[in-house]
Amino acid sequence: METPAPTSCPYLLSNQKLLHLVRHAQGLHNLEAEMNRGSLTQFTDAALSPLGWQQVREQRENVSASGMLEGIEVVITSPLLRTLQTSVGVFGSEEEQDHCGNKTSTLNHPPIIATELCRERMIESEEDILWEADERETNEAVAARGIKFVNWLLGRKEREIAVVSHGVFLQETLIALKNKCLHLMDTDPFTRFGNCEIRSVIVFNESVECIPNFGLVTGM
């Protein structure tokens, strides 16, 4: 997996927020899909695969070396297991023992907050609070929820925020934003995220507020 150097930007205006968008590392459901195309076992809440944990370790080194970890004030994550594991693995505290045997944190570790707003598209489950009978969330609905989520982020006090979510949600959200944000990466912002990939964008309050109907768009 290629893990391009993350981007940080200390020169933000008062109406701007820097968002580091992260797709979760490889989950067991991703591995199953690669091994058995067309016959995917249904995972309701897959954990990370061994490769996923390796991706987390590599990205942890990247964000630490780039200085990004020191700038992030909060991590907002989907509540599913693979995103929680990615959030803690990449951005969580890293502890070591001092000469007295006490555990001490060696790096900045921002708080991690889970919200349903940035979870994967609805799953057909009676226990899923976003579930609607006989219906899965459309790309348009995912995009609308993405803009609602970004507006929620804009209302928070933090200026630099990491978001750990899912490929479809992140892609549809960026498509909905279109030219309403500044992309800080060289990669095409509208393509599918790789596992554990980080893309950084600067979002402007006024730009998102002017998107009608929470940015309903058609899928790619």
**All domains of the chain in start order, with CATH:** 16-215 (3.40.50.1240)
Length of the chain: 220
- The angle that helices 81-91 and 50-66 make with each other, rounded to 10 degrees, is 40
Secondary element (H or E) of residue 17: strand 16-23
- Report whether 139 contacts 218 (CB < 8 A): yes
Residue 135, Cβ density class (10 Å: 0-12 exposed, 13-18 middle, ≥19 buried): exposed
pLDDT given for residue 93 in this prediction: 82
- A 10 A CB-CB count for 95 gives 12
C-alpha 189/C-alpha 216 separation (Å) is 18
Q: Hey, what are 86's tokens? A: 């990615």
The residue type found at 136 is R
- A 10 A CB-CB count for 206 gives 9
Give the strand order in the sheet containing 74-77.
112-114, 74-77, 160-165, 16-23, 198-204, 181-183
CA nearest 109: which of 96, 95, 127?
Answer: 95
Q: Per residue of the chain (220 residues), give pLDDT as tens.
A: 445 555 555 578 888 999 999 999 999 977 655 555 544 445 568 999 999 999 999 999 999 999 999 999 999 999 999 999 999 999 998 654 444 555 444 556 899 999 999 998 866 443 444 545 446 789 999 999 999 999 999 999 999 999 999 999 999 999 999 878 999 888 788 899 999 999 999 998 877 766 755 433 333 2
Task: Spell 180-201 as b/e; 16+ CB within 10 A means b.
Answer: bbebbbeeebeeebbbbbbbbb
Contacts of 50 (CB under 8 A, 6+ apart): none
Q: Hey, what are 69's tokens? A: 């970890």
pLDDT given for residue 109 in this prediction: 85
pLDDT given for residue 35 in this prediction: 56
C-alpha 145/C-alpha 118 separation (Å) is 8
CA–centroid distance for 135 within its chain: 24
pLDDT given for residue 126 in this prediction: 39
pLDDT given for residue 204 in this prediction: 87
Instruction: Output the pTM of the full model.
Output: 0.80
- Which sequence positions are flagged as catalytic? 24, 120
pLDDT given for residue 12 in this prediction: 83
pLDDT given for residue 59 in this prediction: 97
Q: CB-side exposure of 51: number of CA atoms within 13 Å?
A: 13
